[in-house]
């Protein structure tokens, strides 16, 4: 797909801004006349313009992934969400799975959803919302990341501790993202991630720099933790592509 030029973007932006100005004027008339026909017409025109821009500038593959996430949230969380305006990070080679974290989803809510869908065990003591701190969260807005399309955590990151990952400047999944990844994969396939290995969620921390982890243990999801220097072949982080490592707090 051909990328839009700066001139094209400026023209389209000017058109949308003009429509919004007309919408504000029409809104003022509605307050006086209580007649909403013109306002609804303007709203439809703006929505059609934005949809046209999406089809023109957003690749079909990504539009389909966004729609899939909207359907997922409708089915699993009973949320009606429009992700048409969400910022999608630039895709990098090898990172094919899109994860969209909806605003307001917390780590405890995601773990509770896992427990509704399949057996779980939380080895960390306390409410996860109170004991887990993450590099990214959806408290202020929804956000998107890309991860590798792997069942097992990244083999490229085996034998690397959380401190090793930090020293290398690698951005990796948070506990929230790993749990959402699990739910989405389970709903798609009926199967689970990390059957043979464990994801070290280096994007999150407990007290004393302890690192949360997630893996599938025979018949349940185990959420546990490791020390910041712990490393092994089967303990691996999941690298992510994010707009900015710290931008989604």
Q: Which pTM was predicted?
A: 0.79
Residue 235 backbone dihedrals phi, psi, to 5 degrees:
-110, 110
Q: Which of 48, 52, 51, 45 is nearest to 26 (CA)?
A: 45
- Residues 161, 169: Cα–Cα separation, whole Å: 13
- The verdict on 119 and 29 lying in the same domain is no
Residue 76: what are its φ and ψ, rounded to 5°? Answer: -90, -40
What integer pLDDT is reported at residue 53 of this predicted model?
A: 66
Domain-located, residue 183: yes
Question: In DSSP terms, which residues pair with 205 in a beta bridge?
Answer: 133
Cα–Cα distances (Å) from 171 to 116, 145, 238, in that order, read 29, 11, 8
Tokens encoding 166: 């930090």
Q: Is the dihedral of CA 74, 80, 84, 88 positive or negative?
A: negative
The C-alpha atoms of residue 227 and residue 205 are separated, in whole angstroms, by 10
**41 dihedral zone (left: phi>0; alpha: psi -120 to 50; beta):** alpha
Q: Is residue 63 part of a domain?
A: no
The CA distances from residue 139 to 104, 110, 157, 212, 217, in Å, are 5, 13, 29, 20, 30
Q: For residue 1, what pLDDT is reported?
A: 44
Considering the domain architecture, whether residues 111 and 29 belong to the same structural domain is answered as no
- What is the domain range of residue 21? 6-57
166 and 44 together in one domain = no
Going residue by residue through the chain, which has 249 residues, state the pLDDT in tens, using 9 for 90 and above. 455 666 766 776 777 778 778 777 777 777 777 777 777 887 777 777 766 666 566 788 898 999 999 999 999 999 999 898 888 998 899 999 999 999 999 999 999 999 999 999 999 988 999 999 999 999 999 999 999 999 999 999 999 999 999 999 999 999 999 999 999 999 999 999 999 999 999 999 998 899 999 999 999 999 999 999 999 999 999 999 998 545 455
Looking at the structure, tell me whether residues 53 and 94 fall in a common domain.
no
| Same-domain pairing of 24 and 118 | no
Question: How many Cβ atoms are within 10 Å of 239's Cβ, its own excluded?
Answer: 22
Q: How far is CA 206 from CA 75, 149, 174, 202, in A?
A: 31, 27, 12, 10
Q: 143 and 230 in one domain? A: yes
- Of 80, 97, 79, 75, nearest to 88 by C-alpha is 97
Under DSSP, the state recorded for 157 is G
161 and 96 fall within a common domain: yes
Domain count, the chain: 2
Q: Are 141 and 92 within one domain? A: yes
Examine residue 13 and state whether it is found in any structural domain, yes or no. Answer: yes
pLDDT for res 27: 79
Does residue 120 share a domain with residue 156? yes
- Report yes or no on 158 lying in a domain: yes
Can you read off the two tokens belonging to residue 120?
Answer: 């779980």
Question: Is 249 among the domain residues?
Answer: no
> Do 34 and 125 belong to one domain?
no
The answer to whether residue 66 sits within a structural domain is no
Q: Answer yes or no: is 75 within a domain.
A: no
Task: Tell whether 117 and 16 lie within a shared domain.
Answer: no
* Beta carbons of 138 and 104 less than 8 angstroms apart: yes
Is 76 within the bounds of a domain? no
Do 193 and 123 sit in the same domain of this protein? Answer: yes
């Amino acid at each position: 797909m051909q990328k839009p030029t700066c001139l094209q973007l400026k023209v389209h932006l000017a058109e949308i801004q003009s429509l919004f100005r007309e919408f504000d004027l029409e809104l003022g008339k509605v307050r006086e006349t209580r007649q909403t026909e013109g306002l609804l017409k303007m709203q439809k025109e703006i929505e059609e313009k934005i949809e046209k821009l999406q089809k023109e500038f957003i690749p079909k593959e990504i539009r389909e992934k966004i729609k899939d996430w909207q359907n997922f949230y409708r089915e699993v969380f009973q949320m009606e969400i429009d992700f048409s305006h969400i910022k999608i990070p630039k895709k990098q080679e090898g990172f094919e799975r899109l994860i969209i974290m909806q605003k307001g989803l917390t780590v405890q809510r995601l773990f509770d959803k896992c427990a509704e869908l399949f057996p779980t065990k939380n080895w960390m003591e306390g409410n996860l919302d109170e004991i887990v701190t993450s590099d990214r969260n959806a408290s202020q807005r929804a956000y998107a990341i890309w991860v590798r399309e792997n069942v097992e955590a990244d083999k490229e990151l085996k034998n690397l501790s959380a401190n090793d990952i930090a020293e290398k400047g690698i951005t990796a999944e948070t506990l929230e993202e790993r749990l959402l990844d699990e739910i989405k994969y389970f709903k798609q396939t009926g199967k689970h991630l990390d059957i043979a290995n464990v994801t070290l969620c280096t994007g999150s921390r407990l007290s004393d720099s302890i690192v949360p982890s997630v893996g599938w243990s025979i018949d349940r999801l185990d959420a546990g933790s490791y020390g910041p220097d712990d490393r092994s072949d089967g303990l691996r982080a999941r690298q992510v592509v994010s707009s900015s490592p710290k931008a989604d707090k």
